[in-house]
Structure 1
């Protein structure tokens, strides 16, 4: 099984969007797909009816309930094939990373014949320093599992002091860990931006929006264009 953990310590930067994109991208590939939402505060991913997302409460107070997460690892280890997408909230980022580190989960899954892939998002604007630190923390604390970096340009391009992410020190330090980069491009707010917001707020997929009379002809056209762009970028990243 291929296990995709979506991990970032900063909230509101597009983790659940990435989870939904992965689910839509993987679903037509005729492999079993299991989606899990472990966010105890904003269970956005579980709001998508199309993915039959399982909500897993892994918290006990301010810490991970290890027995609950043990059960998830047990399910992964006994699975024969397919893919799993695990969306994690900002509030559980630190305890979940600690659990994965202390129990050497990445190595355990790899030895069991499973592929582990981490996904982290970096966004422009005010959240850039926090998302950079979240990515760096992920690389420091979780074994050698490859990391897919999603560059979310919704709040601006992730550029600091005139340098892109690929020109930054944190990229240079961790480039051996990076599987690939996927860009979520900036769009015109009053058209593509509003269309995406409408689709995401209603927790529907691109295909559901395209088939829905609640979306106008031009909204559906622009969403089809966005889907093509995003899926092309994901294909180039060899996901």
Structure 2
């Protein structure tokens, strides 16, 4: 069954686009087709890095959001990734409710995942609690992403009521390891995919390329534990593509 992935978190700067980008790269390296949508009009980060696979949508226009449903119908075997901006859950919730979108996805054979990306601050915990209380999202698979690039101490979260509620909802937990700041900045400033950063010999030294590959392996292991294996994957670890 293919999936629809809404990458959210409501708080700005927690790494939603980073999560969308690395999920896209994971699917590419696993040989799994996907269609991407970027709902963050102020940054368009996902569309900028994976422009071959994604297009821009407007979160407060139903006709624009309907493109997600259309893609689900037109591409039955493809996953869909929707990179959400901060403070967009109300607009998304209205569209889902008025369009009965989750029922449509179910009819189309799509499993829905909602990814809550968080740092280690109190706001991310509070926003997760708000999400857990929203009935419209009660039927979807919740994935909680602890982004170590935006915080190194998630102990308070793991001791919180929000964490226990998420466990009660059978949430899946993903750790997004920290990528060194200079490495991440170099990738961002050059508008590169993670594949390019792991393989571009002209712009990245062998040490830099190896660090990106090592980071991707850690991320892929966490994603594979969460998403499960695909028939296109031939080993316990998704291979990171390299040029022949």
Indicate the residue corresponding to 2:130 in structure 1: 137
| Residue number among 109, 113, 118 corresponding to 1:117 in the alignment | 113
Indicate the residue corresponding to 2:149 in structure 1: 154
| Residue number among 159, 162, 169 corresponding to 1:177 in the alignment | 169
Call closer, same or farther: CA 1:206–1:66 in 2, change over 3 Å: closer
Indicate the residue corresponding to 1:24 in structure 2: 25
Indicate the residue corresponding to 1:166 in structure 2: 158
Are 1:223 and 2:244 matched, yes or no? no
Call closer, same or farther: CA 1:26–1:101 in 2, change over 3 Å: same
Please state whether the residue corresponding to 1:235 is helix, strand or coil.
helix
Deviations 1:64-103 (A, max 9, x none): 2122223432332443211111101114233113322444
Are 1:193 and 2:194 matched, yes or no? no
What is the CA distance between 1:49 and its match in structure 2?
Answer: 4.1
Q: How does 1:38-53 map to 2 (within 5 A)?
A: 38-49=39-50, 51-53=52-54
Deviations 1:194-213 (A, max 9, x none): 11221133332232113221
Call closer, same or farther: CA 1:179–1:221 in 2, change over 3 Å: same
Q: Please report the TM-score for the alignment, with normalisation by the length of structure 2.
A: 0.82
Call closer, same or farther: CA 1:69–1:238 in 2, change over 3 Å: closer
Indicate the residue corresponding to 1:37 in structure 2: 38
Please state whether the residue corresponding to 2:76 is helix, strand or coil.
coil
Q: CA RMSD in A?
A: 2.1
How many aligned residue pairs are there?
224
Indicate the residue corresponding to 1:61 in structure 2: none
Bigger shift: residues 102-111 or 22-31: 102-111
Deviations 1:169-215 (A, max 9, x none): 1111232334411112246xxxx331122113333223211322111
Conservation of the 8 A alpha-carbon contact between 1:50 and 1:205? no
In 2: Cα distance, 1:72 partner to 1:19 partner: 15
Conservation of the 8 A alpha-carbon contact between 1:145 and 1:177? no
Q: Which consecutive residues of structure 2, in runs of 5 or more, have no partner in the other structure? A: 229-244
Indicate the residue corresponding to 1:79 in structure 2: 75
In 2: Cα distance, 1:179 partner to 1:37 partner: 24
Q: Please report the TM-score for the alignment, with normalisation by the length of structure 1.
A: 0.84
Please state whether the residue corresponding to 1:118 is helix, strand or coil.
strand
Conservation of the 8 A alpha-carbon contact between 1:148 and 1:180? yes
In 2: Cα distance, 1:208 partner to 1:178 partner: 35
Call closer, same or farther: CA 1:80–1:155 in 2, change over 3 Å: closer
In 2: Cα distance, 1:230 partner to 1:195 partner: 16
Deviations 1:140-171 (A, max 9, x none): 22232011111012232343xxx443332111
Q: How does 1:81-96 map to 2 (within 5 A)?
A: 81-96=77-92
Indicate the residue corresponding to 2:102 in structure 1: 106
Are 1:209 and 2:190 matched, yes or no? no
Call closer, same or farther: CA 1:138–1:102 in 2, change over 3 Å: farther
